């Protein structure tokens, strides 16, 4: 005999979880002709040397991976010039950020971040029981660092900076970061999310230099973007040993699988191949943004593998519809605009053909 339980009799979710907006992932390709430009994935296939080590590890997938990610952490430490005790790894930079929030935030603590920025920030903060404090971007799409410093209160435990920022692509400058870090209380952890740092060209930030001078700075990076390991999920943080130890303590056991660990090590050994690929993306970025500006679009100086079109909801809907009609997937953000990932020259030209002539779209 079976019985039907009413919805009211089911276990209740936490109020904070029940009210969470769902994370909206970029759409995946629907056919071989679809240009999947919504998720900021690398359009390059995996590096051959990385495929070889992943294939070898696949034969051992019945065994647990190294729980401490020891070899990969050591390789990362050598790559960036720190000790392995200063490195914590997790399933993508989002997973590591969840470890960071769990390690430093109690219920009701505040986390300050720019908005719009990475969509997962307010979700991860809310899930942890902390309170998200979004600070609007400036009109030129940069972080408003003075306003973010002013938003810090006695309850603030964490500040998240995204550079280059997702989805606007704009990077934080050296002088403004220096002023900001000097203004932040020493007990507040500042996380510099550099998911797209390999695409940065020009002067950029010496984030490791800042890290060595500011004990409350933590650097967050990933292998999902430039390294092309989005499907394996491995990211890492660089933090003072006591903080990094806390991040490892809050990690899900065996959260970084053995294929991901080996792929990360092999990726770091393929520096020349990576540089060639990111150089190609940077060259296409310059070409595409120049063409869009000539067509009448206002495009910020992206330093990532995507570019940003600020748009009203009416314009956003028109853009997504026009791109979709051309079998191109892009990412729209209600109330803000459209983000389009860069790909190969032919694919980027397809986008430029759709966006040619700013005047045929509604005014922003």
pLDDT digits 0-9 by tens, 314-338? 999 999 999 999 999 999 999 999 9
Decide: 118 and 193 in contact? Cβ < 8 Å: yes
Residue 248: per-residue pLDDT: 97
Residue 362: band (very low, low, confident or very high) from pLDDT cuts 50, 70, 90: confident
Residue 27: band (very low, low, confident or very high) from pLDDT cuts 50, 70, 90: low
Decide: 19 and 123 in contact? Cβ < 8 Å: no
Decide: 264 and 234 in contact? Cβ < 8 Å: yes
Give the pLDDT mean for 15-19.
72
Give the pLDDT mean for 71-79.
98
pLDDT at 179 > cutoff 60: yes
Higher pLDDT, 361 or 19: 361
Higher pLDDT, 193 or 33: 193
Decide: 204 and 196 in contact? Cβ < 8 Å: no
pLDDT at 311 > cutoff 60: yes
- Per-residue pLDDT tens over the stretch 43-62: 999 999 999 999 999 999 99
Give the pLDDT mean for 67-76.
97
Distance, CA of 139 to CA of 243 (rounded, Å): 35
Distance, CA of 70 to CA of 63 (rounded, Å): 16
Higher pLDDT, 362 or 353: 353
- Per-residue pLDDT tens over the stretch 109-128: 999 999 999 999 999 999 99
Average per-residue pLDDT in the chain? 93
pLDDT at 33 > cutoff 90: no
Residue 12: band (very low, low, confident or very high) from pLDDT cuts 50, 70, 90: confident
Residue 227: per-residue pLDDT: 96
- Per-residue pLDDT tens over the stretch 342-361: 999 999 999 999 999 898 89
**3-class SS at 46?**
coil
Say which range, 3-17, 262-276, 283-297, has the weakest mean pLDDT: 3-17
Task: Look at residues 308, 270, 312 and name the one whose alpha carbon lies nearest to residue 292.
Answer: 308
Higher pLDDT, 178 or 5: 178
Give the pLDDT mean for 207-233.
97
Residue 24: per-residue pLDDT: 62
| pTM of the model as a whole | 0.93
Count the Cβ atoms, other than its own, within 10 Å of residue 144.
17
Residue 1: per-residue pLDDT: 46
Could you list the beta-strand ranges (E) of the chain.
35-36, 87-90, 110-115, 131-136, 156-162, 189-193, 217-222, 235-238, 306-310, 328-329, 331-333, 337-341
Task: Look at residues 318, 355, 311 and name the one whose alpha carbon lies nearest to residue 334.
Answer: 311
- Per-residue pLDDT tens over the stretch 118-164: 999 999 999 999 999 999 999 999 999 999 999 999 999 999 999 99
Residue 6: per-residue pLDDT: 57
Q: How many CA atoms lie within 13 A of 215 on its CB side?
A: 6
Give the pLDDT mean for 183-204.
96
- Tell me how far CA of residue 183 lies from CA of 106, 110, 145, 206, 290, in angstroms: 23, 17, 10, 19, 36
Give the pLDDT mean for 86-90.
98
Task: Look at residues 214, 145, 162, 210 and name the one whose alpha carbon lies nearest to residue 185.
Answer: 214
């Amino acid at each position: 005999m079976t019985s039907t339980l009413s919805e009211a009799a089911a276990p209740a979710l936490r109020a904070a979880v029940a009210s969470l907006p769902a994370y909206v992932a970029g759409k995946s390709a629907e056919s071989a002709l679809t240009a999947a430009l919504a998720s900021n994935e690398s359009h390059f296939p995996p590096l051959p040397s990385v495929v070889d080590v992943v294939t070898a590890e696949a034969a051992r997938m019945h065994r647990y991976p190294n729980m401490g990610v020891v070899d990969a952490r050591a390789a990362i430490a050598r790559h960036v010039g720190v000790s392995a005790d200063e490195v914590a790894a997790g399933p993508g930079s989002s997973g590591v950020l969840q470890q960071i929030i769990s390690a430093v935030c109690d219920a009701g603590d505040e986390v300050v971040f720019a908005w719009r920025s990475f969509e997962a920030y307010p979700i991860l903060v809310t899930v942890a029981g902390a309170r998200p404090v979004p600070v609007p971007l400036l009109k030129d799409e940069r972080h408003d660092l003075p306003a973010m410093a002013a938003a810090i209160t006695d309850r603030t435990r964490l500040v998240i900076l995204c550079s280059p920022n997702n989805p606007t692509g704009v990077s934080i400058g050296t002088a403004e970061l220096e002023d900001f870090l000097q203004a932040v209380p020493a007990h507040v952890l500042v996380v510099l999310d550099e998911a797209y740092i390999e695409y940065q060209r020009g002067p950029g930030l010496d984030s490791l230099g800042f890290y060595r001078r500011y004990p409350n700075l933590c650097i967050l990076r990933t292998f999902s973007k430039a390294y092309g390991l989005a499907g394996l999920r491995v990211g890492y943080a660089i933090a003072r040993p006591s903080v990094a130890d806390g991040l490892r303590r809050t990690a899900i056991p065996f959260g970084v699988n053995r294929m991901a660990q080996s792929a990360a090590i092999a990726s770091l050994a393929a520096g020349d191949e990576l540089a060639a690929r990111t150089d190609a993306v940077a060259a296409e970025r310059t070409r595409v943004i120049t063409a869009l500006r000539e067509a009448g679009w206002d495009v910020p100086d992206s330093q990532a593998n995507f570019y940003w079109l600020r748009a009203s909801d009416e314009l956003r809907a028109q853009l997504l519809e026009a791109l979709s009609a051309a079998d191109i997937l892009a990412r729209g953000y209600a109330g803000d605009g459209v983000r389009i990932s860069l790909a190969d020259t032919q694919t980027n030209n397809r986008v430029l053909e759709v966006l040619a002539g700013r005047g045929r779209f509604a005014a922003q």
